[in-house]
Amino acid sequence: MFAFITGLLIGVFAVMGAWGLLYWRKQWLESYIMEEEEPDGDYRVIMRKRSPFQRIAVAESEGIYYVYADGSEMMSTDLAENQYAEAIVHVPMAAAANRESVLIIGSGAGITAREALRYAEVETITAVDVDPIIVQLGREFEPLVNFTNGSLHHPRVKTVLADGREYLENCNDRWDVVIIDLPDPSSKAPDLTKLFSVEFYRLLKTRLNPGGAVAIACSVVSVMPEYLAAVQATLKTAGFHVIPYHWDYIVEFAIDWGFCLATLKPIAPDSIEPLIPVKHLSEDRLEDMFLLPRYLRVDWDEDEVQTDRNTLLIEIVEREFED
């Protein structure tokens, strides 16, 4: 009987250990690609690597490549990425008085740089990103190099490995156009709030040439319209004129991205038209982009802004995940 009970216990513990191992493995895998962020259909994971800042994964499905950071999709080589790039690049380029110098904070693998390089008058693009693995992917991973036309190797592009805030604090350069394409601040990455704060935006003003324009990515506004409202209020407090806009992916991808266009002088939305041929920013689409639908408009206290000392945006993001 003792031998039977002992054998039974060993079997139970073995099963428990196997389930525990499977659970641990699932948790580990989700730290690289969250289940709800997985590509549709079958996919294969090409790379998992931990950078000094985040867990990076690359997956492939039906010829499309996806790059993940801490479980969430960061970029891909699908149609949505091209649409997003047009929205965040060509709007500020059209709004700016000049386009000779461009700064990209959160340059990633070079997709936004690819779009900025299409302007003949652009002389320099400063592409700043803090993560060396992401930049390495943009420079060496063939599917991304093909997708970006090798933008990070272009002689007009200067790649800088640095925190965007620290970079601005330690240089005196000025730019005509600034594109800020960063992840949402979170409790895992609280320092990101300092790239969305009123103090940072005031510093940014001093780095803009007269007639300069800034575009800022404002997350998935369809589920967090408060995020867009908070960024808009923060920019206004810093002294910018602000036009919020959005890119509605709902029909194709069930996502609506928000952006803020910030300028030193007022500009009329109906005066903004792409200066070069684009695939997705039609006249009707532009008109829709600058007309926020009712579900994206929220009542917001203009005094409630992100600063270096509070966690406003983190609270907005984490409320959404709690729900």
CA torsion, ordered 61, 67, 68, 74, to nearest 10 deg:
-120
- Whether residues 179 and 206 fall in one domain: yes
- 148 and 296 belong to one structural domain: yes
Same domain, 47 and 84: no
pLDDT at residue 253, as a whole number: 57
pLDDT at 252: 56
Q: List strands edge to edge, sheet with 72-76.
A: 44-50, 55-61, 64-69, 72-76
Q: Supply 157's token pair.
A: 């592009």
Residues 69 and 116 in one domain: no
Q: Are 32 and 47 in contact (CB under 8 A)?
A: no
Distinct helix (H) and strand (E) counts, the chain: 11, 11
What pLDDT, on the 0 to 100 scale, is given for residue 6?
A: 53
Query: 19 and 133: one domain?
Result: no
pLDDT tens string, the chain, 323 residues long: the values are 555 555 554 554 444 444 444 333 444 455 699 988 898 889 999 999 999 989 999 999 999 999 999 898 899 999 889 999 999 999 999 999 999 999 999 988 999 999 999 999 999 999 999 999 999 999 999 999 999 999 999 999 999 999 999 999 999 999 999 999 999 998 888 999 999 999 999 999 999 999 999 999 998 888 899 999 999 999 999 999 999 999 876 555 567 899 999 999 999 999 999 999 999 998 888 989 999 888 788 889 999 999 999 999 999 999 876 65
36 and 118, same domain (yes or no): no
CA distance 275 to 150: 23
- Three-state secondary structure of 181-237: CCCCCCCCCHHHHHHCCHHHHHHHHCCEEEEEEEEEEEEECCCCHHHHHHHHHHHHH
Q: Are residues 262 and 209 in the same domain?
A: yes
93 and 70 together in one domain: no
* 129 phi, psi to nearest 5 deg: -145, 145
pLDDT at 15: 45
* Res 295: pLDDT: 79
Note the pTM of the prediction, 2 decimals. Answer: 0.89
**Which of 76, 101, 120 is at the close of a domain?**
76
Q: State the residue range of the domain holding 39.
A: 2-76
Q: Give me the pLDDT at residue 115, please.
A: 98
Give the residues across from 257 on adjacent strands.
220, 247
pLDDT on residue 76: 94
Consecutive H or E run containing 164:
helix 164-169
| pLDDT value at residue 37 | 82
Number of domains in the chain: 2
Pair (177, 40) in one structural domain: no
Is the domain of 44 the same as that of 89? no
Structure tokens of 193? Answer: 């709030």
Active site residues: 181
